[in-house]
């Protein structure tokens, strides 16, 4: 019984790497004409899921351990193979790791006894080790199965794979055999297959749907399919610090936001094909596009010719705007920190705004 499970999982892994190689060949073809195809696969979005053997975190940490309550956890890596093990001293469950979610921090989707589980333990960059998966802090496992992970339905597993991989969800089915790890071009650009087909026939007759013309409001909804929209947050009554990870929602409650002003769309500050910039100064001219002081005639002229309105300038500083107005906020659980996209004046002692 145990054997047949292991075989089934191993078989899946082989099929997956074959189709993933095909996808890599397709992306190499795009690179002949688009530099995006060289940079995007290396970004965290391009690697939002990693397969065995690709994962730097596991390679750099061949043995990870943590003790939680009555249970010991271990994640062990030898070459391409990693295993996730939980034991209470008497009973032990050990499974191979096939689906590594996340680039900086990592959670594993596990298969055991024909079911999917989200691992109870995750890897956190801030501690360089394992701790309870964010959101599961309140769970007090009653037995080793509960300590192993949170059992999830196929529906929930589909959602994880749908946002972190390409080609794994077709209609109502979860098809792990066709999965490409991470977000490939066609996850965002509809019509890329036809585009490539036409090009190999010697024509550029079809061009994927252009995304550069989305308004700021449409960008929030487009990126928000995964990063969560304002509407999802409001309808679900999400509140408190956990909402800081939902950038479209946070941005849209900021006074800066205007759904029709391109200077405040996601794409004004982020290029989805490039790594995220951690240079504070990089963002200054994004803010100054609207908040330039009266003597900054270049920014004012640029806005003026595009007939875009200007807003007030800062009385306190002229650079590193985001360091004061987009505070880094720690989520419950303590290991995940996000940048609050609710751009605002932050006064000491103020409650977290929703």
| Tokens 């585009």, residue located | 195
Please, are residues 340 and 329 in contact by the beta-carbon 8 Å criterion? yes
Could you count the other beta carbons within 10 Å of the beta carbon of residue 108? 25
Nearer to ligand HEC, 71 or 222 (CB): 222
Alpha-carbon gap, residue 327 to 329, rounded angstroms: 6
Nearer to ligand HEC, 16 or 321 (CB): 321
Please, are residues 140 and 132 in contact by the beta-carbon 8 Å criterion? no
Nearer to ligand HEC, 176 or 195 (CB): 195
Buried b (16+ CB within 10 A) or exposed e, 295-312: ebeebbeebeeeeeebee
Q: Could you tell me which residues come within 8 angstroms of residue 213 by beta carbon, excluding any fewer than 6 positions away?
A: none
Alpha-carbon gap, residue 265 to 260, rounded angstroms: 9
Q: How far is the CB of 3 from ligand HEC (least distance, A)?
A: 27
Q: How far is the CB of 4 from ligand HEC (least distance, A)?
A: 25
CA distances from 271 to 35, 45, 274, 277, 322 (A): 13, 11, 6, 9, 18
Q: Could you tell me which residues come within 8 angstroms of residue 120 by beta carbon, excluding any fewer than 6 positions away?
A: 68, 73, 86, 132, 133, 136, 139, 141, 146, 147, 148, 149, 150
Nearer to ligand HEC, 77 or 192 (CB): 192
Nearer to ligand HEC, 58 or 341 (CB): 341
Alpha-carbon gap, residue 174 to 187, rounded angstroms: 16
Of residues 208, 190, 185, 202, the one with CA closest to residue 26: 185
Q: Look at the alpha carbons of 287, 292, 298, 303 in this order and tell me if their dihedral is positive or negative.
A: positive
Alpha-carbon gap, residue 168 to 109, rounded angstroms: 14
Q: How far is the CB of 84 from ligand HEC (least distance, A)?
A: 13
Q: How far is the CB of 54 from ligand HEC (least distance, A)?
A: 12
Alpha-carbon gap, residue 110 to 66, rounded angstroms: 18
Q: How far is the CB of 59 from ligand HEC (least distance, A)?
A: 16
Nearer to ligand HEC, 88 or 198 (CB): 198
Nearer to ligand HEC, 91 or 209 (CB): 209
Q: How far is the CB of 89 from ligand HEC (least distance, A)?
A: 28
Q: How far is the CB of 63 from ligand HEC (least distance, A)?
A: 20
Nearer to ligand HEC, 20 or 105 (CB): 105
Could you count the other beta carbons within 10 Å of the beta carbon of residue 274? 13
Q: How far is the CB of 85 from ligand HEC (least distance, A)?
A: 19
Nearer to ligand HEC, 77 or 119 (CB): 119
Q: How far is the CB of 67 from ligand HEC (least distance, A)?
A: 21
């Amino acid at each position: 019984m145990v054997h047949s499970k292991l075989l089934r999982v191993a078989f899946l892994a082989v099929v997956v790497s074959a189709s993933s190689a095909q996808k890599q060949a397709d992306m190499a073809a795009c690179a002949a004409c688009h530099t995006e195809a060289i940079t995007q696969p290396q970004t965290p979005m391009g690697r939002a899921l990693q397969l065995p053997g690709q994962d730097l975190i596991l390679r750099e940490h061949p043995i990870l351990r943590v003790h939680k309550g009555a249970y010991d956890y271990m994640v062990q890596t030898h070459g391409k193979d990693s295993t996730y093990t939980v034991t209470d001293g008497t009973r032990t469950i050990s499974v191979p790791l096939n689906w590594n979610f996340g680039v900086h921090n990592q959670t594993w989707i596990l298969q055991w006894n024909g079911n999917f589980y989200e691992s109870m333990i995750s890897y956190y960059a801030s501690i360089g080790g394992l701790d309870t998966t964010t959101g599961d802090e309140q769970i007090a496992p009653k037995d080793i199965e509960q300590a192993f992970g949170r059992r999830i339905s196929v529906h929930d597993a589909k959602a994880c794979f749908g946002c972190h991989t390409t080609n794994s969800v077709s209609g109502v089915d979860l098809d792990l055999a066709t999965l490409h790890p991470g977000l490939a071009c066609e996850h965002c650009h509809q019509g890329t297959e036809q585009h490539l087909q036409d090009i190999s026939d010697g024509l550029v007759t079809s061009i994927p749907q252009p995304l550069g013309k989305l308004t700021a409001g449409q960008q929030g909804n487009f990126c928000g399919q995964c990063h969560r929209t304002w509407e999802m947050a409001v309808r679900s009554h999400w509140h408190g610090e956990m909402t800081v990870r939902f950038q479209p929602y946070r941005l849209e409650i900021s006074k800066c936001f205007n759904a029709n002003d391109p200077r405040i769309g996601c794409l004004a500050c982020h290029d989805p094909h490039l790594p995220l910039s951690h240079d504070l100064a990089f963002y200054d001219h994004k803010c100054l596009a609207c908040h330039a002081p009266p003597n900054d005639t270049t920014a004012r002229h640029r806005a003026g010719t595009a007939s875009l309105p200007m807003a007030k300038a800062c009385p306190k500083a002229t650079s590193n705007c985001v360091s004061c107005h987009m505070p880094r906020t720690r989520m419950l659980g303590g290991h995940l920190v996000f940048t609050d996209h609710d751009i605002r004046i932050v006064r000491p002692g103020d409650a977290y705004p929703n």
